[in-house]
Structure 1
């Protein structure tokens, strides 16, 4: 089942369950995807965005909410931080499972070998390969350091 179908099914279920907090978050996800669909149609892509781009949107939404929750916690607004964290939980239901540290290391090694990277100048190609295969499955901010270390040791 593709992401959009799962999302629509979850929206309908949240309506039946009268779960307003979950429904609100699901509608935010749907609105973000539709917004990106409209932008894609303006660029000439009549089909809208694919699952890879939807995963990117969801990852971005999670990151935004983590940053916002941290800001709320620092400001002493724990009620608002808790709401952001609950939204993260709903969004993460649609993301693939996160890779373990060992799996991330193996993926980095495979991407370095696949791209034929030989120096730090090839970091962009390696990161591009990783983002193409593992969107939503790893934290690319943390992975960037691993790739840099791996390439500087070649």
Structure 2
């Protein structure tokens, strides 16, 4: 997706502020899950914030952020009634959020580009999937066709 250069400089800072807020909300949900294991309201809140973040990132053609958010969303939503978000799973999820926050800080404010190697994203998604008892290749159709594409391709 090409970015509209006329609006880009105005839209990116707004997105980064919103993304920071959404990640903070996801981390609050995570903290809540550390206190009340598998609380459905906290999981639903996290799913909503991840989906919103992915949509907003996609609108600005920040594919790496959008895909990463949707991979986490897909793992949580496809297994949410059948998983135990134990301490190790929550720790793996926290690491995903930490990487996402770090990546958002690396978005070039002039071009909107985020140049990175997806290996760390893949590694963290795999770790989270293993902790919740899901193999990344067993994801039922992700919400978006490109979500987890790199992950699936790696295991093909």
State the TM-score bracket (shorter-chain normalisation): 0.3 to 0.5
TM-score for both structures, normalised by structure 2: 0.32
TM-score for both structures, normalised by structure 1: 0.32
In our comparison, the structure showing a higher alpha carbon Rg is 1
Greater relative contact order: 1 or 2 (C-alpha under 8 angstroms, separation 6 or more)?
A: 2
Q: Higher helix fraction: Structure 1 or Structure 2?
A: 1
